[in-house]
Amino acid sequence: MMMRMFVYLLFTSTLLAQGPPPPPNREVPSPNVSFDRILKANQEPQNWLTYGGSPLSQRHSQLTQITPANAKDLELKWVFQSRSLEKHEVTPLVVDGTMYTIQSPNDVIALNAATGKTIWTYSHKPDPAARNCCGKLTRGLAILGDKLFLAAFDARMIAIDAKTGKELWNTPAADPKQGYAFTHAPLVVKDKVIAGTAGGEYGVRGFIAAWNVNTGEEVWRFNTVPGPGEPGHETWSGDSWMHGGAPVWVTGSYDAAANLTYWGGNARLGDNLYSCSVIALDPDTGKLKWYYQFSPHDEFDWDSTQTPVLADMDWQGRSRKVMFWANRNGIFYVLDRLTGEFLRARPFVKVNWADGFDEKGRPIRVPGIVPTIAGTLVYPGNQGGTNWYPPSYSPRTGLFYIPAWENSSTTYIKGQEPPEFHEGQGFAGLFPKPGNRDDDAYGAVRAIDPKTGDRKWEFRQNAASTEAGILTTASDVLFSGGRDGTFYALDARDGKLLWQTNLGPSVAAGPMTFAVNGKQYVSIVVGSSLFTFGLREN
């Protein structure tokens, strides 16, 4: 009896790491995350310094302790159980043994990364007027020096002392009553923190802004829907620009050599710039350098809020700085990230709305594939061939890994009358409904060769879709998950299943990896819990 009690207590203290709320005076060792450290994040793989692992957003780690040979020995080390029942889709940061994560929507929590023990908690209660189409959440944080940055759900940018959890400054960016919200991790560039607003479903006018990291003062703002006198305004008919949407709700990327930051955004008559586009901005001024529009005059809700992944590679015989983009419209793109030049595009799931591209990369639309009053069946569906969940690129294998939905279709029905705008209320004239139920719909990890667009392998999941991001490592291990609750490791070279476990709810976040005291860990948020795994110790 005594032995049984001892084992039970050991289990709960090791795995259920939530515990009581910590006293307010707990501190972590003072971090000093310089911007140079962020740019060289791959040189310290024991840490995870940005939402995407580095400013390139490759979600590829140089850690090698977990390998295809020993991945079968992974076991659960600890769990942090959130007290919130809101959606959780966060990727934590790890800095020198301290993990920083979010309890939805806007509680920031510092944990001991080796044990999961809570160190401090910062709580921000968003304005009750704040809303979002798809849950009250924030997907991550940014750090610079000793400051953490939270893009809060009620459209405020907040700086927090990373050592103590105390608020340093709090700057409103937009009115949440109008539907503006922040839902993604900010991006730090030099002495600025950058974020874009969500809220397209409520008829907001999207923007990306930058704030001074020390003062919280807004430095610049770029409107993703150009107004009168701004280039691109002519692509919006009448006054539709006033409520054009084009929101930004996934973290961008940064190229230090080019000094460009890249962001994706979400119609009306005309092409509707810069909706469904990638834009390259000067991070010092917010000035537009180039853009590429994936889906001109989008009628299918294929907002381009996917992760822009940056890489340097040999392209047709010469070195080239490229951008990979698996778009919600079902097509995988390769662009020159310095100029925006279109290099290649190829579907990675079933597509019936386009059958090619002109020489400038504009898609050639298939006649008749438009929303109608009777309804039109379109591939991919409303959720797209992929969505916000982050992909990964491995420089070792040279492959780009996409969390994909195959045979997803939607019947798009057009309203009989144009929608009327009412502040803070839904604003759409489109009514998507599930498509052909006879389809063999499924979620999968697909490995794509960026040089050709060819699929090299596929790991098919049991569920009809996926919402999990992807992580790869320098030992050729790939981590991802499924809507059936499985979290698994694959061989990144051929897709062979190495290990899996079931965590219950759908996996809907991006995994990350780190090391403490020479031991590699992998963490994933599932449901309202953060699970951390490591190798079994003999």
Positions marked active-site: 301
CA dist 52 and 345 (Å) reads 23
Nearest of 112, 43, 13, 19 to residue 516 by alpha carbon: 112
Q: Do the Cβ atoms of 99 and 140 come closer than 8 Å?
A: no
H or E stretch at 39: helix 35-39
For 177-220, the three-class secondary structure string (H helix, E strand, C coil) is HHCCECCCCCEEECCEEEEECECHHHCCECEEEEEECCCCCEEE
The token pair at 359 is 């020489």
CA dist 401 and 390 (Å) reads 9
The token pair at 75 is 């076991």
For 347-409, the three-class secondary structure string (H helix, E strand, C coil) is ECCCCCCEEEECCCCCEEECCCCCCECCCEEECCCCCCCCCCCCCEEECCCCEEEEEEEECCC
CA dist 214 and 30 (Å) reads 17
Compute the half-sphere exposure of residue 15: CA atoms within 13 Å on the CB side of its CA. 10
H or E stretch at 443: strand 442-448
Nearest of 78, 81, 116 to residue 97 by alpha carbon: 116
CA dist 260 and 388 (Å) reads 21
CA dist 184 and 208 (Å) reads 12
Nearest of 338, 339, 344, 312 to residue 325 by alpha carbon: 344
- Encoded amino acid at 533, one letter: F
Nearest of 169, 150, 54, 62 to residue 107 by alpha carbon: 150
φ, ψ of residue 42 to 5 degrees: the values are -65, -15
**Which residues, including other chains, have CB under 8 Å from residue 347's CB and lie 6 or more apart?**
330, 331, 332, 385
For 77-92, the three-class secondary structure string (H helix, E strand, C coil) is EEEEECCCCCCCCCCC
CA dist 363 and 449 (Å) reads 21
